[in-house]
Structure 1
Amino acid sequence: MEMTLRWYGSKFDTVTLEQIRQIPGVKGVITTLYDTKPGEVWSRERIRALKDEVAAAGLRIAGIESVNVSDAIKTGSADRDKDIGAYIETLKNLGEEGIRMVCYNFMPVFDWTRTELARVREDGSTVLAYTQEAVDAIKPEEMFSSISGDMNGTVMPGWEPERMSKVKELFALYKDIDEEKLFENLKYFLEKIMPVCDEYDINMAIHPDDPAWSVFGLPRIITNQANISRMMKMVDNPHNGVTFCSGSYGTNPENNLPEMIRSLKGRIHFAHVRNLRFNAFERPDGSAVTSWTGEKIRKGKPDFEEACHLSADGNFDMYEIMKALYDIGFDGPVRPDHGRMIWGEKAMPGYGLYDRALGASYLNGLWEAIEKSQTRK
């Protein structure tokens, strides 16, 4: 396992490489060319400049998150082959610079959905949160304005203002796209890019949909073990893998996270590890659920908030998640995911320094304890 931190680049991130370098155990960053658009080729010169900047701070680029997939590719529209060609050129340039892991998603319109970016918790920290009631009560085109005031002056991935200004147009693009069509378009994309991934040994790590169910009627396909298995089988190449994000798969408390990890041995190329606290959850038919940890969740429309990484602060057993990664021999990059905003820090919600540094240290501590407990038997 390689502990990393996500970094958006010196022009966009309030957290500096020098600060990241001082987090115990963090040797690499997961980064991106944040000002590039889907369908745009990443030049080798810009990739090398980014790589050199990171190296000058004593760190390395452990992977890219994300090379965004265009809506033309996701919907299978007329421009998809042109955009896939640009994507392949980007992968070649990354491969030439020795970068071997790319995280991406195949979510329509919204990369992720939260209804609050600064829910105040009992300790005074603020977190990202989701309530189904809020989603049901709002129009899609009003989502951005409802949360933009809590972005602390930052531009959040998947919620770029110029993209959100075209939400109605985006929904029109996806009006005839259901889950089957989205799977078909994902298969087409993966089959086209696998040859360059094979040539440069680049692992493609698809990020799960967040939350793990349809929002505003949009199709969601990377949501559970059965759908991941389907994706693996339809393009059966070891470079076709996943980003295992505990917080995204875990939005459905019935997704057994350790079991899912063990079923994906050899195909997890990247891991986001974080915790959630459920205030309520129920199945679409209104029935109650028991989470994979055996905990009964209060019945009600989905309402969850992000927690600190400590198991006791949320509903996940973080030890079991990390142990499952250890048991399958996972040796790729891991990053603490969304953190709380604590100690008065102002940053991109979920992506401040302090709580993610605490998360990295906690996850490293769990890994060390698991490793020593296994090797000393």
Structure 2
Amino acid sequence: MQMTFRWYGKGNDSITLKQIRQIPGIKGIVWALHDVPAGEIWPLERIEEVVKQANEYGLNTEVVESVNIHEDIKLGLPSRDHYIQMYKETLKNLGQFGVKVVCYNFMPVFDWFRTDLFKEMEDGSTALFFDAQKVRALTPEQVVKDIEENTKEFTLPGWEPERLKDLQHLFNLYKDITETDLLENLTYFLKEVCPVAEEYGIKMAIHPDDPPFSIFGLPRIVKNKEDIHRLLSAVDSPSNGFTFCSGSLGGNPANDLIDIVRSFASRIYFAHIRNVKHYEDGSFIESSHREADGSLPMNGIVNAMYESGFGGYIRPDHGRHIWDEVCRPGYGLYDRALGAMYLQGAWDTNVLLKNESFSSKKQQTV
């Protein structure tokens, strides 16, 4: 297991590489060229720049999140072949600099969604919150306005301004797109890019839908165990895998997260681990990583990954905003650093128990 930490880049993050390097156990950063619009090729010199910055602090750059997919590919428009070719060129460029995993998503219009970016919790910290009652009364335009008002200093992946200039037009384009259509378009994309990914030693790791159910009538195709099985079966390639995100899949209490880990362990190339606390009305808030603070079986998830022989990359996902930190929503330093330590402690406990068991058996043999 390799513990990593998401970093938005020099000048685009409140956190520095020097600070990340000081978190025990962090081996690499999870990065992207966030200013490059979806559909454009990532330049070699820009990739090299980030690699050099990270290497200066002894951090690898083997995981990219995300290389955004152009909406024309998701919609299955005739222009998709052009944008798929651009995507292939980006994969080739990333492969030249040792990138091993590309996390991506296939969510229409925007990817993640919350109704409140700074919901106050009982202890005075704030966190990302999904209000199931409120969302029923919201329009997409109201959501975008709230996002823009609360993120003036930092852009948010999936909510880039260029993608949201004509929101209603995008929604109209998806009006007749079914889940079957969207899956067919994803399959077409993967059949094209996976051979290139294989050639350059890159694993494509799709991120689950967040939340894992339809919002504003948009189709969702990576929301549960059945969807994951369907996707992995659609394209027979070792480069076709997924990102296990406990917080995204955990937004639906019906998802058995431990079973999902055990069922697809060999195809999990990247993992986002975070906790969420469920409410009876379907709402949820992103709590601390500690199991007792939320509703997800955090220790059971880590145990299942360890027992399944997981050797990929993990990062502590969204954290609370604590100690008056000013940061990008969900991506402060302090609570994610605490999360990294909590997850490594859970992992180390498995190592310790295994060693004790081995030692005990050896003594019995003697």
Q: Provide, for residues 60-110 of structure 1, a one-character-per-residue CA deviation record: whole Å limited to 9, x for no partner.
A: 113000000010000011210000000000000111111111000000012
Give 2:311's aligned residue.
Answer: 331
Q: What aligned pairs does 1:265-344 form with structure 2 within 5 A after superposition?
A: 265-280=265-280, 300=281, 302-344=282-324
| Counterpart secondary structure, 1:376 | helix
Q: Tell me the CA shift for residue 161 of structure 1.
A: 2.6
State the aligned residue count. 357
Is 1:225–1:260's contact at 8 Å kept on the other side of the alignment?
yes
Q: What aligned pairs does 1:68-83 form with structure 2 within 5 A after superposition?
A: 68-83=68-83
| Counterpart secondary structure, 1:266 | helix
1:54 aligned onto 2:34 = no
Give 1:286's aligned residue.
Answer: none
Q: Tell me the CA shift for residue 178 of structure 1.
A: 0.7
Letter in 2 for 1:273: I
Give 2:261's aligned residue.
Answer: 261
Is 2:288–2:335's contact at 8 Å kept on the other side of the alignment?
yes
| Counterpart secondary structure, 2:285 | strand
Q: Partners of 1:184 and 1:134 in 2: how far apart?
A: 32
Q: 1:123 to 1:152 in 2, by over 3 A?
A: farther
* Structure 1 stretches of 4+ moved >6 Å: none
Q: Partners of 2:323 and 2:169 in 1: how far apart?
A: 40
Q: Provide, for residues 118-140 of structure 1, a one-character-per-residue CA deviation record: whole Å limited to 9, x for no partner.
A: 00000000000001221110111
Q: Partners of 2:162 and 2:231 in 1: how far apart?
A: 31
Q: Provide, for residues 19-58 of structure 1, a one-character-per-residue CA deviation record: whole Å limited to 9, x for no partner.
A: 0000011121100011111100012221111101110122
Q: Partners of 1:160 and 1:34 in 2: how far apart?
A: 9
Give 2:361's aligned residue.
Answer: none
Q: Which moved more, 1:38-47 or 1:115-124?
A: 38-47
Q: Tell me the CA shift for residue 355 of structure 1.
A: 0.3
Give 2:334's aligned residue.
Answer: 354
Give 1:371's aligned residue.
Answer: 351
Letter in 1 for 2:286: E
Q: Partners of 1:199 and 1:61 in 2: how far apart?
A: 19
TM-score, reference length from structure 2? 0.96
Give 1:182's aligned residue.
Answer: 182
Give 2:131's aligned residue.
Answer: 131
Q: Partners of 1:133 and 1:186 in 2: how far apart?
A: 31
Give 2:14's aligned residue.
Answer: 14
Give 1:227's aligned residue.
Answer: 227
Q: Provide, for residues 145-184 of structure 1, a one-character-per-residue CA deviation record: whole Å limited to 9, x for no partner.
A: 1233332621111112332232111112212211000000
Is 1:152–1:347's contact at 8 Å kept on the other side of the alignment?
no
Is 1:116–1:128's contact at 8 Å kept on the other side of the alignment?
yes
| Counterpart secondary structure, 1:265 | helix
Q: Partners of 2:253 and 2:355 in 1: how far apart?
A: 32
Is 1:74–1:106's contact at 8 Å kept on the other side of the alignment?
yes
Unaligned runs of 5+ in 1: 281-299
| Counterpart secondary structure, 1:335 | strand
1:237 aligned onto 2:237 = yes
CA RMSD after TM alignment: 1.0
**Seq. identity, %:** 51
| Counterpart secondary structure, 1:264 | helix
| Counterpart secondary structure, 2:272 | strand
